[in-house]
Structure 1
Amino acid sequence: MCWMDLVGDVLPWTNSRENTQFCLVDGRRTGQCKQAETDRVLAIETKTRNFSSMDFSWCFSSPIIPILVHFLLVASLLCPVHSSEFGNAQVVNQNQTFRPEEELQKLQIIRTRLQQINKPSVKTIQSPDGDIIDCVMSHEQPAFDHPLLKGQKPLDPPERPNGHDQMGVLSENFQLWSMSGESCPEGTIPIRRTTEQDMFRASSIHRFGRKSIRRRVRRDTNSNGHEHAVGYVNGDQYYGAKASINVWAPRVANPYEFSLSQMWVISGSFGDDLNTIEAGWQVSPELYGDSYPRFFTYWTSDAYQATGCYNLLCSGFVQTNSKIAIGAAISPTSAYKGGQFDISLLIWKDPKHGNWWLEFGSGILVGYWPSFLFNHLRDHASMIQFGGEVVNSRPTGSHTSTQMGSGHFAGEGFGKASYFRNLQVVDWDNNLIPLSNLRVLADHPNCYDIQGGINNVWGNYFYYGGPGKNVRCP
């Protein structure tokens, strides 16, 4: 796969009503430009990113529009990524036959999908890490494509759980894009723009923005290459959860694996009717194209099969915050034997309307999942989980070297291992309470492990993570 940008240029604006048409940039309807301008040759801008943990071999395409699409398709098949980080991962099948009709059909599907995902913006911000952030009117975000939300606007803030400390609000400037000094106007929300490059990178266009389907989803073993080290509570009715999670940038061994740390709010059986709400941070080269840890959300009401998605890549989660971009890179991150940076997340069910809200830090509302998205979670959760998850694709036949958390085992402790602290749940009366029966479980403790504890400062906590492949995890 070539790491290339299609035409992502800003097209000339005009106030004239004569000979104008809407222009599509990365599949996004974005204002008006002169008809004459559309016939000009557009330059392809090749962006260079310097990532501390990733080296790319770049491919360059012809700037001639009539052959741009065909060249891109040929290049995407013939130019593999050479990456020291991704090692033996082979992205391109050298014996693959080039079929122009199939590739053009694929491109058309991608562009149609991009027009659904990317909404008209009133302002565009270029992030230092290469992301494009679109400021979209809040009532025009993807959530309101849902038939049950059409014509509506985001709800007002709900009542917070009792016992929730809203003092000392953490700055919203924890993401790279906001460090540019630019911000989205009130009444809009920042959305990371999805590009053709993002979708070409996906292993499946039809499942873009979703986790892989996991048959026999369980928490006492890995399924379909997904491995966990988690703390969890069950056996009661839960109406939310809260935790502080420290952020790292774990190494991911190949483009089709990921490493994440998150909270799960779960109901239903671990079969086809599983309902989950998820939030945390994630490193996913396939989804985002880099190795930055990114703030993300997820939901499903049928065990990751046909419903739900990451972030705002489908109609579902309703964002209400104008300063946080879901899916954008987090900065700073924790350093081994150095400074530790964590984020606090709270998910809880609004007692009045029944929707599940997400709060970042102490008082920064991000948005909510409407209760009608779910069947089991429409009432309450039956399990809460905290912890790490990786995909182990076993690309060379041995265990992946994708790291979880800091990449170090739990026994190394503070400043070296990753942690969750101040674990709490929300009860039936909207009270935040400490956990009383936290259990910990690691699918493969020789690869990734976990150790729990409790004290007066951190309450319930645990350290977790590991390097993946090592002498005890071949």
Structure 2
Amino acid sequence: MAMTARACVVALVVMAVTILCFERAAAAGTAGRSDVQRLLRRLNKPPVATIQSPDGDTIDCVHISKQPAFDNPILKNHTIQMWPSSHPRGLNQDANVAPRPFMQTWHKNGKCPENTIPIRRTKEEDVLRANSVSSYGKKRSKFTELAVTTGHQWAEASAQGANNYYGTEANINLWQPIVETASDFSLTQFWVTSGSYQNNDLNTIEVGWQVYPQMYGDNCPKLFIYWTRDAYQTTGCYDLKCSGFVQTNNNIAFGVSQLTPLSTYGGSQYDINILVWKDPATGNWWLQISNEDIGYWPSSIFTNLASSASSVTWGGEVFSSDAGQTSTQMGSGHLPNEGFGKASYIRNIQVVDASNTLRSPSSLGLFASRPNCYNVEMGGAGTNWGTYFYYGGPGRNANCQ
């Protein structure tokens, strides 16, 4: 079903989020507000410059050496790697959709100076939307695989046929799925992982876009990153909300509005190219988006990923506390059998091998946790899309109950 309006802020969502903020603020009391203020002081570093975005976000241009990454004791004496030592061989920027500059709304009012990075300022209401101050910016559940995965549904593809991976590249279709409640989310991403839930040593690097009103306060799709080294127990976070990712780029911010233009059902299609690879000289995991090197996860913050990844997965995920009945959409909100222009896709999927070369995975293993709600199908041959698949769905429907 095509959306009748594509405005980013839906009144009912904002109302629900606002009510949630006030309820949690009242419950927090004086001690809770003190915790919130301490967190805000830690997250919001003194800026060199500040840019007010037309959509209401405040972008702080923070000196590169003062960014949150360096609150991490592991990185106390870290020397910033300003540029990757090399890019993967075989990097191909040819696209079916014409390349375009990466634009975010805040760019309309300025640009951060050299040697600074843009960080969306965290507001008190952002923190109050979280389940607790300590959980702000983190996965909602921890400690067991069941707790982390309860309420989640996936439609995804995983690389098959290799034991070690050193990165991935893919073009990810951009949409604005509808989420049913403010606490639901819908995302498209890839996961570069090693380790396991069972041993509490799952290491992940995650990159993509998501609609997550409880996190961001609206229903716009946002560019995000995530990492953990202990199966989401105590380490890791979204974006720059904890110490870990070292950003070097002064043009792209995480968690801000908005990714544009967005695809429309039966109309124009847009996607974003994302590459993550392990720098062969330093071991750091670098991130590139739309041909721009953004920064890196230092090898030292990981355990298993300090060497290589054992798995790479691409696809969609939704969360709802009522996962069996939710109408929260994944991708375009349509099942993959509808094909191009209607179903969401991930294309030109490649992995990085031990020689720092991009290649197509030998095969993909497909998984859909509830195929009648959200599904995944391989794309056909005869295109210049390389390895690709369609995925997504509407959630609750006549066959998904």
Asked if 1 retains the 8 angstrom alpha-carbon contact of 2:74 and 2:301, the reply is: no
Could you tell which deviates more after superposition, 160-169 or 316-325?
160-169
* 1:173 alignment partner in structure 2: 102
The partner residue of 1:331 within 239, 260, 273 is: 260
Q: Pick closer, same or farther for the CA change 1:110–1:238 going to 2, 3 Å.
A: same
Which of structures 1 and 2 has the larger relative contact order (alpha carbons within 8 angstroms, sep 6+)?
2
State which of 292, 312, 320 in structure 1 corresponds to 2:240: 312
Superposition pairs of residues 5-20 of structure 1, within 5 angstroms:
none
Aligned residue in 2 for 1:354:
283
1:418 paired residue among 311, 333, 344: 344
Equivalences for residues 441-456 of structure 1 within 5 A? 441-455=367-381, 456=383
What are the within-5 Å matches in structure 2 for residues 360-371 of structure 1? 360-362=289-291, 364-371=292-299
Partner of 2:125: 197
Code of the residue aligned with 2:365 in structure 1: it is: R
Is 1:457–2:384 an aligned residue pair?
A: yes
Which position in structure 1 is the counterpart of 2:362? 436
- 1:81-106 superposed Cα distances (whole Å, 9 cap, x missing partner): 359xx9xxx94999x9966xx51111
Retained in 1: the 8 A contact 2:158–2:365? yes
Please report the TM-score for the alignment, with normalisation by the length of structure 1.
0.77
Count the aligned residue pairs. Answer: 389
- The letter of the residue matching 2:399 is R
Contact 1:139 1:153 in 2 (8 A): no
What one-letter code is carried by the residue in structure 1 that aligns with 2:75? L
Instruction: Give the aligned partner of residue 301 of structure 1.
Output: 229
Q: Which residue of 2 aligns with 1:289?
A: 217
User: 1:174 Cα shift?
Assistant: 2.4
1:122 aligns with 2:48: yes
For residue 379 of structure 1, what is the aligned residue in structure 2? Answer: 307
Indicate the residue corresponding to 1:68 in structure 2.
none
- Are the counterparts in 2 of residues 343 and 360 from structure 1 also a CA contact under 8 Å? yes
Q: Which has the larger radius of gyration?
A: 1
- The aligned counterpart of 2:11 is 55
Letter in 1 for 2:378: G
CA distance in 2: counterparts of 1:436 and 1:173, whole angstroms? 31
Q: What is the aligned-residue identity percentage?
A: 47
Identify the residue that residue 9 of structure 1 maps to in structure 2: none
Unaligned runs of 5+ in 2: 1-5
Which amino acid in 2 is paired with 1:452?
M
Give the deviation of 1:152 after TM superposition.
4.2
Amino acid at match of 1:55: A
Of the three residues 317, 327, 334, the one matched with 1:401 is 327
Question: 2 CA distance for matches of 1:407 and 1:345?
Answer: 22
Distance 1:93 1:355, change over 3 A: closer
SS for the counterpart of 2:209 is: strand
Aligned to 1:226, which of 129, 152, 162? 152
Instruction: Indicate how the Cα distance of structure 1 residues 278 and 97 shifts in structure 2: closer, same or farther if over 3 A, else same.
Output: closer
RMSD across aligned positions (CA): 2.6
- How far does residue 181 in structure 1 lie from its aligned partner after superposition? 4.0
For 1:260, the equivalent position in structure 2 comes to 187
Tell me how far apart the structure 2 counterparts of residues 358 and 257 of structure 1 sit (CA, whole Å): 27
Of the structure 1 ranges 200-209 and 151-160, higher mean CA displacement relative to structure 2 is found in 151-160
Match in the other structure for 1:388: 316
1:254-278 CA distance string (max 9 Å, x none): 1111100001001012331111000
Alignment of 1:72-111 (within 5 A): 81=15, 91=20, 102-111=28-37
Task: Tell me if the contact between 2:194 and 2:310 (Cα under 8 Å) persists in the aligned partners.
Answer: yes
Q: 1:117 to 1:92 in 2, by over 3 A?
A: closer
1:224 partner letter: T
- Select 1:240's aligned residue among 136, 147, 167: 167
- The answer (yes or no) to whether the contact 1:154–1:319 under 8 Å persists in 2 is no
1:250 aligns with 2:197: no
Q: What are the Cα deviations for residues 217-263 of structure 1, in whole angstroms up to 9, with x where unaligned? A: 38xxx921111100101442100001000111111111111100001
- The Cα shift of 1:444 comes to 0.4
Contact 1:454 1:460 in 2 (8 A): no
CA distance in 1, matches of 2:184, 2:25: 26
Kindly tell me: are residues 165 and 97 of structure 1, through their superposed partners in 2, closer, same or farther at Cα, counting changes over 3 Å?
A: closer
The one-letter amino acid paired with 1:334 is: S
- Partner letter of residue 298 of structure 2? P
Q: Does 1:470 align with 2:397?
A: yes
The corresponding residue for 1:6 is none
1:356-377 Cα distance to aligned partner (Å, 9 max, x none)? 0000113x10100001111110
Mapping for residues 153-172 of structure 1, pairs under 5 Å: 153-158=79-84, 159-165=86-92, 170-172=99-101
Q: CA deviation at 1:177?
A: 1.6
Q: Which amino acid aligns with 2:337?
A: G
Post-superposition Cα deviations, 1:335-366, rounded to whole Å, max 9, x if no partner, equal 1111111000000000011010000113x101
Structure 1 residues not aligned, in runs of 5+ = 1-49, 59-80
**2:67 aligned partner:** 141
- Letter in structure 1 aligned against 2:370: H
Instruction: Select 1:269's aligned residue among 174, 188, 196.
Output: 196
- TM-aligned CA distance change 1:405 to 1:93, over 3 Å: same
8 Å CA contact 1:320–1:366 kept in 2: the answer is yes
